[in-house]
Structure 1
Amino acid sequence: MSSKIVVNVQTHITRIALLEDEKLVELLVEYPDAKRIVGNIYKGKVERVLPGIQSVFVDIGLEKKAFLHISDVSTDAASSPDVSALFRNGDEILVKVIKEPRGTKGPRVTTRISIAGRYLVLIPHSTVLGVSRKIHSARERFRLRKIAREFAPGKFGIIIRTIAEGKKPAELRRDFSELIETWERLQVKIDKSIAPTLIYRDAGFTESIVRDIFSSDVDEMVLDSRTEYERIHRYIKETAPNLASKLIWYNGKQPIFDHYGIEPEIEKIFVRKLQLKKGVSIVIDHTEALTAIDVNSGGYLGKGRDKERTILETNLIAAREIARQIRLRDIGGLIIIDFIDMESRESRRAVYQDFKKSLKSDRAKFSILPISDFGLVEMTRQRVRPGLFEQTTEPCPYCSGLGRILSPDTVIAQIERYLLRLSDSIAGKDITLVVHPNIACEMLADNAQLLHEFRRSFKSKFDVLSDITLNPSEFKVINSATGDELK
């Protein structure tokens, strides 16, 4: 499988696309005024202890207070079942951000401090020695553990990252030494600092991608910014010089995402209904509680055995694209997928296994339940930051995110009820109804028959004024003589 990282740097946004076999599978976006804070370490001050939910709010110097749950407290401290026995208001504690702020919620933090290097994750005050679960070879896992024990004999905890697979002992040792030096510098800063304050800033947006994804498995990393290219090139020279030749500066006239065919794929991310091959379609709806994904056949499914075979094929097509879209849109939290009902257990098992296989490359942690008798798949996916849809959109000012607005007939009925309430104060006066253009067209249809009916009912003369700035469901009733709005 070919793999490529394409980076587009603009004044107000940086976008990083991950391509697998020339197909967009992951898109990361960062705005200058919304810098990532996951991985940052802060010296914070306990602001509020909530025994009822076994949680603590911590002031780390940001606009929103950080949230610390008992489950995110280091193992030794969490041996106490009561959060109020561990923390008091005003306590200074060291925390690491594990989840970005989202909506009205502040960042989520943990007291399990760790620092990520290229090949290793250093865990101070711990003796754990772990290997990434994505390294499947038992022999390689044993080799990496043996190497780690040689240079870190129980003094620090270490997690060996996936990218360390196949690397030489010297590379791992160098990474460990750099992490130790970083931690020693941080200890000095921790002792001198007064909470709340930032102690350690994790790698920047692009650097984190280089650290976490850019490896020998990636064919090339292409950037369209000379400044960013030179900065990343220096970083690569220090951490992984063997990859320097794979770093490319793109200076073509065509925008880089157009050149690689990425932009049309990005436009599809914001489409609710995706049309797939053989008439299959999927519909993705986001709600406050979960994301619902519906599979539609879009055509005749046949009868008997042919029908079951066609349904299986339809669901398999949908499952692969759903896996891609979940990863591409970075959908987190609870996800419910409604596949077309399958009578055969074997068919349900085949779709379930294929769906899991399609998610194998996903870097986020996830958990999937088998397909139920109703054809539903329930899954959860790790949410580290707001999803792409949430990052790049905002609620519609007309429908407040509902996706639907009141019909013209409904708005006109509301206007009529409003006039009924004002009937005594508008009788005998000239009235101007200020409405959205769509509503104005409806009211003036059939030679303004509706206005004639209003005139007979309310003993007033009515005019309609179109105002494009109004929400389609908004309207104003104006006294034409004085210009005052009647309420």
Structure 2
Amino acid sequence: MIKELIIDSSPGGTTIALLQDKQLVELHKEQISNNYTVGDIYLGRIKKIMPGLNAAFVDVGYEKDAFLHYLDLGPQVQSLLKLTKQVRSGGYQSKLLDNFKSDPDINKGGKISELLSKNQLIPVQIAKEPISTKGPRLSSDISIAGRYVVLVPFSEVTSISKKIKSNTERNRLRKIVESIKPKHFGVIIRTVSEGKGVAELQKDLLDLIAKWESFITRLPAVEPAKKVLGEIDRTSTLLRDILNPDFQHIYINDTSLHEEIRSYIHEISPEMENIVKLHKNSVPIFEHYGIDKQIKSAFGKTVNLAGGAYLVIEHTEALHVIDVNSGNRTASKENQEENAFQVNKEAAKEIARQLRLRDMGGIVVIDFIDMHKPNNRKDLFDYLRGEMAHDRAKHTILPPSKFGLVQITRQRVRPEMNIVTSEVCPACNGTGTIRPTILLLDDIENNFNYILVEQNEKKITLCVHPYIEAYIKKGFFNRQWKWYFKYSQWIKVKSNPAYQITEFHFFSAKDEEIKL
């Protein structure tokens, strides 16, 4: 499997496209104005305790108070509150936890009103970004993630990813980490640590300890509801979590971002530094690599599949519904079951891609085409699970019911990626009516009077539909020559097949569109 990352940087933010074998599978948008990223740590202020929900609403500076449930407090929340109080009052000087005496773990079935009170300060970490009308979801079970390990304060436990199967490797990693981790810190060893040496693990752990020290340093001075420690940007987070030898290219269209990412990859995987390349082509990066076309075809209510079948995707407040239709794909009556199975498999592969691409979360209900054989239903379930195995978000899949319905729950930590694929008709501006076509050339010449005579522009280009270009250039003494004698300058005419029949635009000598 060949993986590529295409990064489009613009003044409004960064868009990241992940391709597998040239097919778009993930799309991430990082807006410059987004201050609430998963992993950021804030000094929150308790605004309201809700005993009925066993939760609290916390002010972290967002327009709506964030939500903190008792189960998200973490077992060592009393130690965190105690440390925060001591650090802010100047009673605790060390940046690590060597001399800190932890409090006992809280009762899992306890009440939040017994631990927190109104206006109390508590460090919290963003667990879910603001979604729809809801504020951020918080956790006070703080952890700091690196490439190979995750640092967990107030814990002594060293845990290892279940995806590392070898007992020998698990024991080796455990011994390495336990020999270098600081006192009163737990460590989660990530899957990518498999096969890594002491130097790489130690460097990653030291970087995380430095972040914790930065958190302790800033804690006394930071104002309530302000950020104490920020997660790295979305691009670097994505690279940290998914970068592996399967990646062949990372293309970026911004020079400064290219240098930043090259430097970051040099730190985490020096042998892969050369795959980072700067896009220098004049064609926009997403257009050059076919991303724009894939976005237009993959988003929207209807998604067509290669075999003639199609998906209909509907979104509601409570859940997402996906309907599988066979379309114009038909088969003989005797082969109906096999045909349904093949269409369902094709749909399952695309659905797994759509969930990642749109970052759909919550409850997803899929209406597959009915199949009567239990073996086919089981094979479809196994096939869907196999396709969903590439999804990094936590998810649960229930087997198909006898009605062909499959239910999926998928973790949602960010707003769903929603791209409008329909466009307003440039000819009618959405009204459904256009100017009489017989007046098209009159409209163009009226604009010439404004641009050439009043604005005194030189060497302009008229861009029109190919049919209109052919009409303008038809004959020896054509419209271009008439315009030349009328305006005393040659007006270049170009065609664009993407234009509507009555659409036209003017461009200056610098190839910038002249707005009318």
Give the structure-2-normalised TM-score. 0.73
Structure 2 equivalent of residue 182 of structure 1: 211
Structure 1 equivalent of residue 407 of structure 2: 378
140-149 or 341-350, which deviates more? 140-149
CA distance in 1, matches of 2:383, 2:183: 41
Note the 1:58-97 alignment, pairs <5 A.
58-75=58-75, 76-79=105-108, 81-97=110-126
Partner amino acid, structure 1, of 2:23: K
CA distance in 2, matches of 1:257, 1:275: 21
Distance change in 2, residues 1:153/1:225 (3 Å):
closer
CA distance in 2, matches of 1:184, 1:97: 19
- The Cα shift of 1:286 comes to 0.7
Distance change in 2, residues 1:245/1:351 (3 Å):
same
> Structure 1, residues 32-58: CA drift from partner, whole Å, max 9, x if none?
223452110011111100010111001
CA distance in 1, matches of 2:348, 2:30: 29
Partner amino acid, structure 2, of 1:71: L
24-33 or 232-241, which deviates more? 232-241
Q: 2:352 aligns with which of 323, 327, 331?
A: 323
Structure 2 equivalent of residue 227 of structure 1: 256
Partner amino acid, structure 2, of 1:246: I
Partner amino acid, structure 1, of 2:344: N
- The Cα shift of 1:78 comes to 4.8
Alignment partner of 1:97: what SS? strand
- Is the Cα contact below 8 Å between 1:70 and 1:78 reproduced in 2? no
**Dislocated runs of 4+, deviation >6 Å:** 436-439
CA distance in 2, matches of 1:18, 1:63: 32
- The Cα shift of 1:129 comes to 1.7
198-207 or 343-352, which deviates more? 198-207
CA distance in 2, matches of 1:12, 1:334: 31
- Would you say 1:115 and 2:147 are equivalent positions? no
Equivalent residue pairs, number = 399
- The Cα shift of 1:275 comes to 1.6
Structure 1 equivalent of residue 52 of structure 2: 52
Partner amino acid, structure 2, of 1:53: L
Partner amino acid, structure 2, of 1:90: N
- The Cα shift of 1:255 comes to 1.6
Note the 1:134-173 alignment, pairs <5 A.
134-152=163-181, 155-173=184-202
Q: 2:294 aligns with which of 240, 244, 265?
A: 265
Q: Percent identity?
A: 40
262-271 or 151-160, which deviates more? 151-160
Structure 1 equivalent of residue 230 of structure 2: 201
- The Cα shift of 1:394 comes to 12
Note the 1:403-418 alignment, pairs <5 A.
none
Distance change in 2, residues 1:304/1:138 (3 Å):
farther
Distance change in 2, residues 1:394/1:74 (3 Å):
farther
Alignment partner of 2:217: what SS? helix
Distance change in 2, residues 1:31/1:194 (3 Å):
closer
- The Cα shift of 1:72 comes to 0.6
- Is the Cα contact below 8 Å between 2:309 and 2:343 reproduced in 1? yes
Structure 2 equivalent of residue 128 of structure 1: 157
41-50 or 121-130, which deviates more? 121-130
Structure 2 equivalent of residue 250 of structure 1: 279
> Structure 1, residues 378-406: CA drift from partner, whole Å, max 9, x if none?
011110100101xx45999xxxxxxxxxx
Distance change in 2, residues 1:35/1:8 (3 Å):
farther
Distance change in 2, residues 1:178/1:30 (3 Å):
closer
Distance change in 2, residues 1:170/1:60 (3 Å):
same
- Is the Cα contact below 8 Å between 1:36 and 1:205 reproduced in 2? no
CA distance in 2, matches of 1:223, 1:36: 25
- The Cα shift of 1:227 comes to 1.0
CA distance in 2, matches of 1:22, 1:438: 37
- Would you say 1:340 and 2:369 are equivalent positions? yes
Structure 1 equivalent of residue 25 of structure 2: 25
- Is the Cα contact below 8 Å between 1:45 and 1:90 reproduced in 2? yes
Alignment partner of 1:142: what SS? helix
Distance change in 2, residues 1:198/1:117 (3 Å):
same
- Would you say 1:277 and 2:306 are equivalent positions? yes
| Residue segments in structure 1 that go unaligned for 5+ positions in a row | 397-435, 440-487
Partner amino acid, structure 1, of 2:343: T
CA distance in 1, matches of 2:22, 2:242: 16
Across the aligned residues of Structure 1 and Structure 2, the Cα RMSD in angstroms comes to: 2.3
Q: 1:289 aligns with which of 312, 318, 322?
A: 318
Alignment partner of 2:381: what SS? helix
- The Cα shift of 1:220 comes to 2.2
> Structure 1, residues 309-347: CA drift from partner, whole Å, max 9, x if none?
111111111111111111111111100000011111100
> Structure 1, residues 273-318: CA drift from partner, whole Å, max 9, x if none?
1121232111111111100000011246545551111111111111
Distance change in 2, residues 1:271/1:196 (3 Å):
closer
- The Cα shift of 1:248 comes to 1.2
Distance change in 2, residues 1:349/1:154 (3 Å):
farther
CA distance in 2, matches of 1:142, 1:328: 37
CA distance in 1, matches of 2:58, 2:233: 24
Partner amino acid, structure 2, of 1:46: I
Alignment partner of 1:278: what SS? coil
Give the structure-1-normalised TM-score. 0.77
> Structure 1, residues 109-166: CA drift from partner, whole Å, max 9, x if none?
0010011112111111112222233444444333322321221276311112233232
- Is the Cα contact below 8 Å between 2:299 and 2:421 reproduced in 1? no
- Is the Cα contact below 8 Å between 1:2 and 1:218 reproduced in 2? yes
Partner amino acid, structure 2, of 1:29: K
Structure 1 equivalent of residue 10 of structure 2: 10
Distance change in 2, residues 1:262/1:301 (3 Å):
same
| Residue segments in structure 2 that go unaligned for 5+ positions in a row | 76-104, 424-429, 434-516
127-136 or 174-183, which deviates more? 127-136
Distance change in 2, residues 1:359/1:136 (3 Å):
farther
- Is the Cα contact below 8 Å between 1:126 and 1:156 reproduced in 2? yes
Distance change in 2, residues 1:138/1:321 (3 Å):
farther
